[in-house]
Amino acid sequence: MAKRGGFPGGAMPGNMANLMKQAQKMQRQMEEQQAELETKEFEATAGGGAVTVKVSGKKEVVSVKLAPEVVDPDDVEMLEDLIVAATNEALRKMEEESAKVMGNLAGGLGGLGGGFPF
């Protein structure tokens, strides 16, 4: 009587083994891309260049530069708003780059995910 389930001889069919190799390769590529992204810095300005914020690919603020003329003790609120705006823009740029890099890698999934019902 034939055994049910499993693969003859305990080996995976060629397509499944190839699928596993592709998935492992893609995982390595994603890890490499993530590590590279973490070394990059993203910069944005607000207030016509009055405030410049630089963030890393690790989502950490690296530096904040203020033009002397924007430092007005009577209008601290405006300075705070400019810092927030520049920081958010720098983080948006970093996220955009991250999505682009990961999207390019996910584009290689075309051959991996096709035809599976789940």
For the cut 90, the answer to whether the pLDDT of residue 37 exceeds it is: no
The pLDDT tens digits of the residues spanning 52-110 come to 999 999 999 999 999 999 999 999 999 999 999 999 999 999 999 988 888 877 775 55
CA distance 53 to 65: 6
Give pLDDT, residue 118: 44
Is the entire prediction scored with pTM above 0.75? no
For the cut 60, the answer to whether the pLDDT of residue 14 exceeds it is: yes
3-state helix, strand and coil shares in percent for the chain, rounded to the nearest 5: 60, 15, 25
Mean pLDDT (the chain, rounded): 83
Give pLDDT, residue 27: 87
